[in-house]
Amino acid sequence: MTLKTEPVTINLGPQHPSTHGVFRFRVTFDGEQIADIEPIFGYLHRGSEKLAEERTYAQVVTLTDRMDYVSSMLSNQAYILAVEKLCGIEPSPRGVWLRMIAAELQRIASHMVAIGFLLQDLGTWGTPLTYAMRERESVLEMFEMLCGARITNSYLRPGGVFMDAPVEFLPVLDSFLSALPHRIDELESYLTGNEIIFARTKGVAVLKPEIAINASLTGPMIRASGIDWDLRHRDPYDYYDRVSFKRPLHRAGDNFARYWVRMQEMRECITIIRQCVEQMEPGPVRPSHDDVPYLLRPPVGDAYVAIEGSKGELGFYLVSDGGISPYRCHVRAPSFINLTLLREMLIGTLMGDLFVSFGSVDLNMGEVDR
Amino acid sequence: MSETILDSSLFRNVYCYVAGGSEGCVSHGYSEGFLPAGYEWLAFAITAAVLAILFIQGALGGVLALIWGERRILARFQNRVGPNRWGPFGSLTSVADAIKTMFKEDIVPDQADRFLFNLAPVIMVVPVLMVFAVIPIGVGTLVADLNIGLLFVIAITSASGLAIAMAAWSSANRIAIFSGLRAVALLVSYEIPMALSLLGVLMITGTLSMTGTIEAQDVPFIIVQPLGFLVFFLAALAEMSRTPFDLTEAESELAAGHLNDYSSMKFGVLFLAEWAATVAGAMIIATVFLSGWRGFSPIPSHIWFVGKVVAVIFLIIWIRATWPRLRIDQVLSLAWKGLFELTMINLIVTAILTAAMADREADGSLFSAGELWIMAAVNWAVFFPSVYLIGKLLASKPYEDDSSEPQELYPVATEEKAFEGAAD
């Protein structure tokens, strides 16, 4: 008697513990090996880009919060920069420094979430996740001091931020920044040298640099493939040309490299924030209402601004017809574009690698589906 | 010593208390029982029922305590408080969970094989509860002192793999089938190092009986048989499907694996069986490698045993809190390339040692503490190099361009270097 085997097709998601939201795979398994995979998304589509056409320029900020809800400050920043470019607004220096601080803090929080959930997918039963979430919690508390909100901040305004930081903010920030390197060391001593994590992630879902460039990957994904592409350095926006920082690179391009790059980037965020605090001077946090009114009416034209989001190049393309709301708003969502190589990453790997590789992309369904 | 254990065997005590009269009981001080002569079969049935209820309730109580303890300990590992609402320190949370589980709707999927679907929880839970029968939880406190105790344990725990495969197959769920396949693969692979690791202990004790194994441990076998303990512990983790071998219900991959389609008390029973397997596994480890209920005098033997079991369970929870899960290929290669070789080394060394030591066959006596210490010294001398070698063999290789300088791993790339891969 001969045993007949056949591939089995399974739907994983949208209801699944580790699809990072409502993502769905249709996977064909040959035994434990992945023979084919088809990503299906759109379960969290809320039409944010269309909704933006019905709102004033100031109101759209609240929509950007809800796109990438684990790094809403960065979404705010990308949108506000696009509006400033469209209207030709000169931002106030203190506002710019404050939003850089907020953005870098958000990057720390976002990377913490990425690392925590990647390890959750590895099956660590939440221990690294809770430690990562503890750091994120401190960041969110600081956001609460800055703007009263924790997740959906809407902190930024065209020309700066809507409110100056309270006097208690800087001491709290300072103590957080002095504690964070030890916390990262602690997390890293637990994780980076861990044999099981290394065995599970090394050499899995390798992305060669040329493939990564072809698919226009950005952010930690492409830096893990050894390409030094960081918009803060390549195309400085805000005052990133006035701060210096290292860009962690790893040549392997596998899951471990992506984890490792994020881990090191958090350390660089600390040095950036310290430089921002040093260079920040008292002054208005945004231009007066005479210069930048609430109801902006930008001249006819369009503007595209891309920033280095926590997940990659986060771009906003705005078209103005001279009215009070954008004629068209398009988002270049890094989570979405980084997903395009999912097939190349996953075919041939085992089922256990599926969600680990998926988690190493660090995507956010709110941003993928918008 | 063997005599005293049999004297105070639980089964005999209860039986004689009910039946009395028979010569075996009279010689142990039970001259009269409740039942008249000729009703021994009734006495036998009553004894069996009493002991079964006693031990099953004990096991279930242990499981509830374990679930509570696991949640509290995991919470402490994770910077959390854990369940703290029901009862002191949340100790009644498990009871509340059990009641909630009971009142859930019992769903059987349309396409499920109803017979196997309903049978699987039973197949899962019965063998685990039967294990408790042969484990002495104190001096003479055991249901049956089987002379094949260890063999019985090894044989009967294998049924869990069958039950998982059964549950997975019958629920007609493709994700569950993955779980079933993994369970069988794990069972086939880890049963062998598990059984072989106990052979070293058998060579020293010369008996399969649990009480005999405890009596032989003048020095706990974790000291005498470090390799055996390591392999047995890891294989037991795999058999219990605990982290890092929890592939059958890898939450981040298979959701709940074979439990996906179960609800209500069928889920409860399957869940309970897994936790009971953890308690049983910890008890076996405590009996075979930590000298069971033996300890020093003022503290009663039952407390010693419970303390050792709790220590083993704490170790298991600790591992669960800190280690990620291995992938299926790594799990299987660990069994065949790592643990199998370690057991072989252990077997050879132990065989040579037992042959070289006093000829036990001649007088049937056990090894003395001195002889056990000599064995321990040799075994530990073998332990470190062999574990190191196997570890080197199985460890993943670091990156090729990795240098001792950590800075080298993330150079600030220059313009030329950064795009060298992108040239074409």
- Cα–Cα distance for residue pair A150/A137, rounded to 1 Å: 9
Q: How far is B333 from chain A (nearest CA, A)?
A: 12
Q: Distances in Å between the alpha carbon of B279 and those of B61, B91, B98, B289, B314?
A: 11, 18, 18, 15, 11
* Per-residue model confidence as pLDDT tens digits over A287-344: 888 778 888 888 888 889 999 888 888 899 999 888 888 898 899 888 888 888 888 8
pLDDT band at B361 (very low <50, low <70, confident <90, very high): low
The DSSP code sequence of A125-178 is TTHHHHHHHHHHHHHHHHHHHHHS-SSS---EETTEESSPPPTTHHHHHHHHHH
Dihedrals φ, ψ of A84, to 5°?
-60, -40
Note down the domain range covering B348: 104-394
- Cα–Cα distance for residue pair A13/A354, rounded to 1 Å: 13
Expressed in percent and rounded to 5, the helix, strand and coil fractions of chain A are 50, 10, 40
* Per-residue model confidence as pLDDT tens digits over B186-196: 888 888 888 88
Spatial neighbors of B109 by CB under 8 A, at least 6 apart, are B117, B171, B172, B173, B261
Q: Is residue B383 part of a domain?
A: yes
Are the C-beta atoms of residues B156 and B281 closer than 8 Å to each other?
no
Q: How far is B422 from chain A (nearest CA, A)?
A: 5
The pLDDT of residue B22 is 61
pLDDT band at A131 (very low <50, low <70, confident <90, very high): confident
pLDDT band at B406 (very low <50, low <70, confident <90, very high): very low
State which residue of chain A sits closest to B407, comparing Cα positions: A248
Are the C-beta atoms of residues B253 and B404 closer than 8 Å to each other?
no
* Per-residue model confidence as pLDDT tens digits over B282-300: 988 988 888 878 777 787 7
Q: Which two tokens stand for residue B388?
A: 């190191």
Decide: helix, strand or coil at residue B80.
coil
The pLDDT of residue B27 is 64
Q: How far is B309 from chain A (nearest CA, A)?
A: 23
Per the listing, tokens 């059990």 go with B98
Q: How far is A16 from chain B (nearest CA, A)?
A: 7
Q: Among A50-54, B117-121, B373-377, which stretch is predicted with the lowest mean pLDDT? A: B373-377
Q: Quick one: which of A62, A81, A26, A63 has its CA closest to A155?
A: A62
Cβ distance A198 to B78 less than 8 Å, yes or no, reads no
CA atoms within 13 A on the CB side of A181: 9
**How is residue B88 annotated by DSSP?**
G
How far the first Cα of chain B sits from its last, in Å, is: 82
State which residue of chain B sits closest to A214, comparing Cα positions: B422
pLDDT(A95) > 70: yes
Spatial neighbors of B13 by CB under 8 A, at least 6 apart, are none
Residues of A in contact with B326 (CB under 8 A): 196, 199-200
How confident is the prediction for chain B on average, in pLDDT? Answer: 79
Rg (CA), chain B: 25
The pLDDT of residue B175 is 84
- Predicted TM-score (pTM) of this structure: 0.83
State which residue of chain B sits closest to A212, comparing Cα positions: B422
Q: Is residue B372 part of a domain?
A: yes
Q: Is residue B276 part of a domain?
A: yes
The pLDDT of residue B24 is 61
| Number of folded domains that form chain B | 1
The pLDDT of residue B359 is 61
Q: Which two tokens stand for residue A195?
A: 């044999």
* Per-residue model confidence as pLDDT tens digits over A66-77: 888 888 888 889
3-state secondary structure A294-343: CCCCCCCEEEEEEEECCCCEEEEEEEECCCCCCCEEEEECHHHHHHHHHH
* Per-residue model confidence as pLDDT tens digits over A12-35: 878 777 777 788 888 888 878 888
Decide: helix, strand or coil at residue A282.
coil
The pLDDT of residue A348 is 84
pLDDT band at B1 (very low <50, low <70, confident <90, very high): very low
The pLDDT of residue A168 is 87
Cβ distance B320 to A125 less than 8 Å, yes or no, reads yes
The DSSP code sequence of B261-304 is T--HHHHHHHHHHHHHHHHHHHHHHHHHHS-TT---TTS-HHHH
Q: Is residue B338 part of a domain?
A: yes
Q: Which two tokens stand for residue B19?
A: 């039946």
Kindly state the percentage of chain B with pLDDT values over 90: 2
Measured CA angle at B184 (ends B180, B189), to 5 deg: 150
Better-scored residue on pLDDT, B143 or A227: A227
Q: Which two tokens stand for residue B134?
A: 């042969």
Q: Is residue B293 part of a domain?
A: yes
Are the C-beta atoms of residues A78 and A315 closer than 8 Å to each other?
yes
Q: Which two tokens stand for residue A312?
A: 């990659």
* Per-residue model confidence as pLDDT tens digits over A241-286: 888 888 888 878 888 888 888 888 888 889 889 888 888 888 888 8
Q: Is residue B283 part of a domain?
A: yes
State which residue of chain B sits closest to A121, comparing Cα positions: B252
- Cα–Cα distance for residue pair A23/A38, rounded to 1 Å: 11
- Cα–Cα distance for residue pair B246/B180, rounded to 1 Å: 12
Cβ distance A350 to B328 less than 8 Å, yes or no, reads yes
Chain centre distance of CA B197: 14
- Cα–Cα distance for residue pair A278/A228, rounded to 1 Å: 27
How confident is the prediction for chain A on average, in pLDDT? Answer: 85
The pLDDT of residue B174 is 83
* Per-residue model confidence as pLDDT tens digits over B8-55: 566 666 777 776 666 566 666 666 666 666 676 777 777 778 877 888
Residues of A in contact with B261 (CB under 8 A): none
Q: ω before A14 within 30° of 0 (cis)? A: yes
pLDDT band at B357 (very low <50, low <70, confident <90, very high): confident
The pLDDT of residue B241 is 79
Q: Are strands A160-161 and A8-12 parallel, antiparallel or unpaired?
A: unpaired
Cβ distance B421 to A227 less than 8 Å, yes or no, reads yes
Residues of A in contact with B78 (CB under 8 A): 126-127, 130-131
Are the C-beta atoms of residues B42 and B20 closer than 8 Å to each other?
no
CB pairs under 8 A between A and B: 128
Q: Does B88 touch chain A (CB under 8 A)?
A: no
Q: Is residue B186 part of a domain?
A: yes
The DSSP code sequence of B294-348 is ---TTS-HHHHHHHHHHHHHHHHHHHHHH--PPPHHHHHHIIIIIIHHHHHHHHH
| Maximum CA extent, chain B | 100
Rounded to an integer, the average pLDDT of A85-105 is 88
Q: Is residue B326 part of a domain?
A: yes
Residues of A in contact with B174 (CB under 8 A): 8, 10
- Cα–Cα distance for residue pair A41/A142, rounded to 1 Å: 33
Residues of A in contact with B247 (CB under 8 A): 352
Decide: helix, strand or coil at residue A30.
strand
State which residue of chain B sits closest to A224, comparing Cα positions: B410
* Per-residue model confidence as pLDDT tens digits over A156-210: 888 888 888 888 888 999 999 998 998 888 888 887 778 888 888 888 888 888 8
- Cα–Cα distance for residue pair B375/A54, rounded to 1 Å: 82
